[in-house]
Amino acid sequence: MSKMVGSNKYFFKICIVGDSEVGKTTILNQYLKRRFVPEAQRTIGSNFFVKYVKVPEIERLITLQFWDLAGQPRFKWVRYAFYKGAKGIVYAFDLTRKNTLDNILTWKEEVESKIGVVPNILVGNKLDLLTSENRIINLDEVSYIQQQVSASEYIETSAKIGTKVEDVFSKLTLEIYKSNIEGIE
Ligand code: GTP
């Protein structure tokens, strides 16, 4: 279960996965630094971040540790090591590219083969690029994938503007907390 880290009792590792260029690094930059980093460099292997948060429903401080995993298949060997100990997953796809939604099933297989099913959220990113005319992914398709990964929520974000990015992590943190509470109380 979650480890003790000094007086900071709750420590959750979260992995964000999804195809290359869906915006994983940008989502994390937006969440952690509250700004859009326009030319996020392609992730090589993995990035690692830490944030201390207070979720209103949980009284104590929580340490979130993020692993941002390169979406390119050639980094598959690196990614395996990083799922170990993950308490939550963000499955991210690009709302403008349907194949990135379909590929969530491949990501699910990879994740679950290592750590089984853990609390997770499905995220459709790049909402700012959508208009009422160019929405190519319908909600039935999304619901199907959401069920397949057992995601508690589906959230559409814009990492560029910051829309709903905060929601993703506060909801996931709460869910992880609830699912681990017996082991850490
Ligand atoms: P890998 O490191 O290759 O796995 O990619 P990634 O999923 O981390 O994607 P990254 O964050 O590098 O973003 C890819 C491109 O999409 C960058 O040019 C970003 O600026 C852009 N981008 C990310 N999120 C958004 C968004 O919400 N809206 C728009 N318009 N562009 C975005």
Q: Determine the angle formed by the axes of helices 104-115 and 76-83, rounding to 10 degrees.
A: 50
Residue 36 exposure: Cα atoms within 13 Å on the Cβ side:
11
Question: Tell me, what's the pLDDT at 35?
Answer: 64
pTM over 0.75: yes
pLDDT recorded at residue 39: 58
| For the CA of 161, the nearest atom of ligand 1 | 27
Q: How far apart are CA 178 and CA 173, in angstroms?
A: 9
pLDDT digits (tens, 9 = 90+) for 77-112: 776 677 889 999 999 999 999 999 999 999 999 999
Give 60's DSSP letter. Answer: S
Ligand 1, pocket-test mutation among 20, 22, 26, 41, most atoms within 8 A of CB? 26
Average pLDDT for 171-177? 93
Q: How far is the CA of 69 from the centre of ligand 1 (A)?
A: 13
Query: CB within 6 Å of ligand 1 — which residues?
Result: 20-26, 38-40, 42-43, 70-72, 125-126, 128-129, 158-160
From the list 131, 133, 114, 123, the residue with the least C-alpha distance to 168 is 123
Average pLDDT over residues 54-69: 82
Ligand 1 atom at minimum distance from 129 CA: 30
Yes or no: domain 3-180 corresponds to CATH 3.40.50.1820: no
Instruction: Provide the token pair at 51.
Output: 């944030």
Whose Cα sits closest to atom 28 in ligand 1? 126
Across 6-20, 135-149, 151-165, least confident range: 6-20
What is the distance in A from the centroid of ligand 1 to the CA of 23?
A: 3
Shortest-distance atom of ligand 1 to CA 37: 20
Contact 122, 146 (CB under 8 A): yes
Q: What residue owns the CA closest to ligand 1's atom 26?
A: 126
Q: Which residues contact 65 (CB under 8 A, 6 or more apart)?
A: 11, 12, 13, 14, 48, 49, 50
With cut-offs at 50, 70 and 90, classify the pLDDT of residue 7: very low
Which tens digits make up the pLDDT trace of 117-134? 999 999 999 999 999 888
Domain ranges of the chain: 3-180
What pLDDT, on a 0 to 100 scale, did the predictor assign at position 41? Answer: 59
